[in-house]
Amino acid sequence: MRVLILMHDVQEDAGTIARYLQKRRAALRVVRFYDGESLPDDASQVDAVVSMGGPMNVDEEEAYPFLREERLFLSRCFERQVPVLGICLGAQMIAKAAGGRVMKAPQEEVGWYTVSLTEEGSEDPFFLGLPDSFLVFQLHGDTFDLPPGGTLLVTSPTCRNQAFRLKNSLALQFHLEINADKLALWLAEHHLKDGVLKVYDEVKDNLYLNVQRLCRNFFGQVEN
């Protein structure tokens, strides 16, 4: 299984998603946009794509030219039916590349929040084995409309559109990939409360179980 990981910022690696893929002996290729690295010429060179988060907005293509390159690349992935998993900014990139709109959220979400499966989400194979409601870490000020053909799978009271399916791709507004190292970095960078790490220590086992389940469901469609 060949997986392409797209990084927009040095603090936004694939975390526990990469941990899962390494255990499955996937061939990982990381494109570090912030270091000037380039996308492959052909989307068919990979079996799946993971687009990570970042501090920029999807519309800042002039300031960050790689956003336009990524948008066009994701469109080619959709055409070739290469599944894409998007996290936070990556989810918003999926929405925009598929013709959806990204805008400011009604309120920022920073910290631990509970999200819930929609009726469609509870029946969707991507969320097989996950509970109807679960705790996630959020760090975003933007949100998205569902693109044409998108199905809402996860929601919350503070930000309605938390996750959607687009054919064989999956967009997650929340940070499924979170780990202790990443939280420690964000604690200082984003002035998070000290209690964030305490909560993580209490729930990390369940968090990783959810990562394993979702990754197994998502990458199972291309794993050989």
For residue 196, how many other CB atoms are within 10 A of its CB? 18
**CATH (domain of 11):** 3.40.50.880
The per-residue pLDDT for 224 is 64
Helix segments in the chain, DSSP class H: 15-23, 66-79, 89-97, 119-123, 180-189, 195-219
Domain coverage including residue 150: 2-219
175 is catalytic: yes
**Based on the structure, what is the number of domains in the chain?**
1
Res. 157: pLDDT tops 90:
yes
Q: How do residues 135-151 score in pLDDT, each as one tens digit?
A: 999 999 999 999 999 99
The verdict on residue 35 lying in a domain is yes
The verdict on residue 100 lying in a domain is yes
Q: Of the given ranges (29-38, 53-62, 196-205), which has the lowest mean pLDDT?
A: 196-205
Could you say which of 77, 88, 159, 215 is catalytic? 88
At 185, the pLDDT band (50, 70, 90 cuts) reads confident
Res. 48: pLDDT tops 90:
yes
Could you say which of 109, 159, 177, 215 is catalytic? 177
Contact between residue 49 and residue 6 where contact means Cβ atoms under 8 Å apart? yes
The verdict on residue 224 lying in a domain is no
177 is catalytic: yes
Q: How do residues 61-77 score in pLDDT, each as one tens digit?
A: 999 999 999 999 999 99
What is the pTM assigned to this prediction? 0.96
